[in-house]
Amino acid sequence: MLTITIDRELGDAVYVQVASQMRRLIASGAISPGTPIPSVRQLSRDLGVSLNTTARAYRMLEEEGFLVIRDRAGVTVAAPAEQIGDSARLALLDELRAILARFRQAGIANDELLRTLQREVGALDGGRRGVRS
């Protein structure tokens, strides 16, 4: 059974923690496309957070293409896009550049940065293979 955990003592807002954990689980294939996930109300109740907090995380994930939210059918995991538009690609590239800049500013050398990148991409692929097998 997959679970997510929030920690109010961490610097990140709770909705950011919820979104980042779900993003990781979906991208790694731990939750496959089409799988229903708990409603905003249920997840809020189980985490003991306000409805707005969970709704904000879900809206963010919907905008990023990780979730499909329908009133009656509930919330399901979206399939990865088959094609990406130019503007979306540019937006993602901008985000990547911003993150790379933060790594550089944090004093992380290029070698280490590349190794980290390879490891993380490998972890995503490994997760997918693990789920498929």
Partner 1 sequence: MTETTVINFFFTFRVFLLGGILLAYPRISRKGLMFGTYLGEEQVDGPVADKLMRDWDVGCALVMIFSLLVGWGISLSGHPLRGNLTGTAVLILASIGLYFWMYGKTRRLAPAGAARQAMKASASLEVDKSRGDRFAKLALVICLLTALGSAAYATLSYQALPDRIPTLANLSGFGDELADKSFVAVLLVPSFNLVFSVFFALMALLVARAKLSLRGGTGGRSAQAQDSFRLAYSHILSGMALFLCLLFTVTSLEMIRIARGEAESFGLSLLWISVAMIVYALFSLIRIMKRIGQGGARLEDGSVEAPLSGGLADDAHWLLGVMYVDRTDPSLMVESRWGIGYTFNFGNPIAVVLNVIYLTASLGLVALTLMELGLFS
Binding site for partner 1 (CB under 8 A): 1-9, 22, 25, 31, 36-38, 41-51, 74
Tokens 């190794």 belong to 115
Closest CB to partner 1 among 46 and 112? Answer: 46
Q: Which amino acid would we find at residue 59?
A: R
The least CB distance from residue 92 to partner 1, in Å, is 25
Closest CB to partner 1 among 51 and 109? Answer: 51
The least CB distance from residue 1 to partner 1, in Å, is 2
The least CB distance from residue 117 to partner 1, in Å, is 27
Structure token digits, residue 118: 């390879």
The least CB distance from residue 78 to partner 1, in Å, is 15
CA dihedral (32, 36, 39, 43) positive or negative: negative
Closest CA to 40 of 8, 7, 62: 62
CA dihedral (8, 9, 13, 16) positive or negative: negative
Quick one: how far is CA 33 from the chain centroid?
13
Closest CB to partner 1 among 37 and 60? Answer: 37
Closest CB to partner 1 among 25 and 60? Answer: 25
